Amino acid sequence: MSLHGRDLLSVHELSYEEVQEIFRLTKIVKDKQKNGQEHHILKGKTLGMIFQKSSTRTRVSFEVGMWQLGGMAMFLSANDLQIGRGEPVKDTARVLSRYVDGIMIRTFSHQEVEELAQYASVPVINGLTDLLHPCQALTDVYTAIEHKGEVKGRKMAYIGDGNNMANSLMYVCAKVGMNIAVATPSEYKPNESVVSGAREDARLFGSSIELTNDPYEAVKDADIVYTDVWASMGEKSKWHVRWQALARFQVNSELLGVAKPDAIVMHCLPAHRGEEITDEVMESKQSVVFDEAENRLHVQKAIMALLMGHP
């Protein structure tokens, strides 16, 4: 099934074949860029980028990606739009659809993204919500493939807060047949609905999803060790409470020693070194964090090309 004209709100909505198509095109556009070859798949196209949450990687990767694909990206903060002054999301969706060829939104409420997609007549890409971060999760698995080859049957361990990254990684790991163990404090578990949906996919693709409160149990024999910040944007006021609950979930050399000797370490960034991950691990040879950050550009270019390009 073609991705042309569709939305990307969640990896759960993609088929295995569609995930593989994104990865296939990612390699093509990445190789072309590295070789200095033009790949203007979206020449003359425009992406509207709505930011209710600020970002380094999301803004730069989408903006540069559109330019490299021959198109243009427009940065639209909440302060720049009437949506920040009370205009209904459905009105903004229909107006922007008359001007642009695609919309990327990075915001708090996942329901807001779903409403935007419902009323927009152009593809909508979820750049991040409090529930899901699909572009990052697809990037993470693509990076794992670059470093590990076939990922089916391999094990990822996610350590820390059961946030949008934990949710999205469960979805994408299940979709590609990768096992995932998620270790969180009991009060910061992943979304139950996401766990249920991911486990349905895991049964279809022969993988497993394990939830635990023991980071050492999760990391044991892992091929990939993953973590994220303990307090996401909008949660800083709860930092001290979160720190107390999450202190034993730090990815450090001792914890990494339980994983496979050739395990790689991932973090979606920004990292708070000394909190969820130590500086030593971030700078170690096992860290592929900056390869991962670069691949946001290439994966998102593939996503935009498939959704917004010619069928």
244 is in an annotated binding site: no
56 is in an annotated binding site: yes
Q: Count other Cβ atoms within 10 Å, centred on residue 184.
A: 23
Residue 134 structure tokens: 């699909």
Q: Is 268 a residue of the active site? A: yes
228 is in an annotated binding site: yes
Radius of gyration of the chain (CA): 19
111 is in an annotated binding site: no
118 is in an annotated binding site: no
Q: Is 85 a residue of the active site? A: no
Residues 231-252 as b or e (16 or more Cβ within 10 Å = b)? bbeeeeeeeeebeebbeebbbe
- From the number of C-beta atoms within 10 Å of its C-beta (0-12, 13-18, 19+), residue 103 rates as buried
Full DSSP string of 8-75: BS-GGGS-HHHHHHHHHHHHHHHHHHHTT----TTTT-EEEEEESS--SHHHHHHHHHHHHTT-EEEE
267 is in an annotated binding site: no
Is 67:306 a contact under the CB 8 Å cutoff?
no
Catalytic residue among 133, 154, 242, 267: 133
133 is in an annotated binding site: yes
Q: Is 173 a residue of the active site? A: no
| Residue whose entry in the numeric block shows the structure tokens 């009991």 | 186
Catalytic residue among 59, 110, 267, 296: 296
CA-CA distance, 125 to 135, in Å (whole number)? 8
Catalytic residue among 106, 154, 242, 267: 106
304 is in an annotated binding site: no
Catalytic residue among 59, 110, 268, 298: 268
Q: Is 106 a residue of the active site? A: yes
266 is in an annotated binding site: no
Catalytic residue among 52, 136, 250, 300: 136
82 is in an annotated binding site: yes
55 is in an annotated binding site: yes
Catalytic residue among 130, 201, 223, 228: 228
Q: Is 39 a residue of the active site? A: no
Q: Which residues are catalytic?
A: 106, 133, 136, 228, 268, 296
Residues annotated in a binding site for L-ornithine: 164, 228, 232-233
Binding residues: 55-58, 82, 106, 133-136, 164, 228, 232-233, 268-269, 296
Can you say which residues are annotated as belonging to the binding site for carbamoyl phosphate? 55-58, 82, 106, 133-136, 268-269, 296
